[in-house]
Chains A and B, each alone.
Chain A
């Protein structure tokens, strides 16, 4: 069965420091991968998806098929990046989305 793991429940970094949120998945095929973010008192929203290969709010994520990872990175963390981040996997465009347990990122001023 497909599974998404995020090893860090909590991650604290100082403003201006690099940040990396880890995501590993288990699936033998080529899945669609996403990062969703939930800011305080806001609804869950898509941050970025692998297939678009875009950078959103300075965040990027690279798919490493060999390590089955999709880590989220940003070179310089900002206070407004503090939020809950969820990695998610979808086998195909029509399949269910499987979420990881989430990582709470706190950026210290």
Chain B
């Protein structure tokens, strides 16, 4: 099991453009969360998908949207890119289970640079 995979590894976009980032969860996991990590900061929660629906959302504008597919993989879309969107985007997967808090398994991230 390769664990959580993300593509692409790096991406350079221009202000105003749109971008799509992709994530495949760890085998057996059904929940995907996306985080934005700016340089020198901790990961900031964007949203979480479960059963192809957005279950939780952080304080991010509507320019940030996502999707989860029947195979549990997920996409993060960002429209009208701003310079401030430059960051490492992390995907984390977990198994929706009752009882213990979900342990999140992180991918290596996609480094987005907006020029």
- B-binding residues in A (CB < 8 A): 4, 32, 34, 43-46, 49, 51-52, 86, 88, 90, 92-102
Q: Are A86 and B104 in contact (CB under 8 A)?
A: no
- A-binding residues in B (CB < 8 A): 3-4, 33, 35, 40-45, 48, 55-56, 58, 90, 92, 96, 98-109
Interface of B is mostly: loop
Give the distance to chain A from B106, nearest Cβ to Cβ, in Å.
Answer: 4
Q: Are B42 and A101 in contact (CB under 8 A)?
A: yes
Q: Are A86 and B41 in contact (CB under 8 A)?
A: no
Assuming A46-B103, A96-B48, A98-B45, what are 10 further A-B pairs, CB within 8 angstroms? A45-B106, A49-B103, A52-B100, A86-B42, A93-B98, A93-B102, A94-B56, A97-B45, A99-B43, A100-B42
Contacts of B90 in A (CB 8 A): 44
- 22 sample A-B contacts, Cβ–Cβ < 8 Å, listed by A number: A32-B101, A43-B3, A44-B90, A44-B92, A45-B106, A46-B103, A46-B104, A51-B101, A92-B101, A93-B100, A93-B102, A94-B55, A96-B48, A96-B58, A97-B33, A99-B42, A99-B43, A99-B44, A99-B45, A101-B40, A102-B41, A102-B42
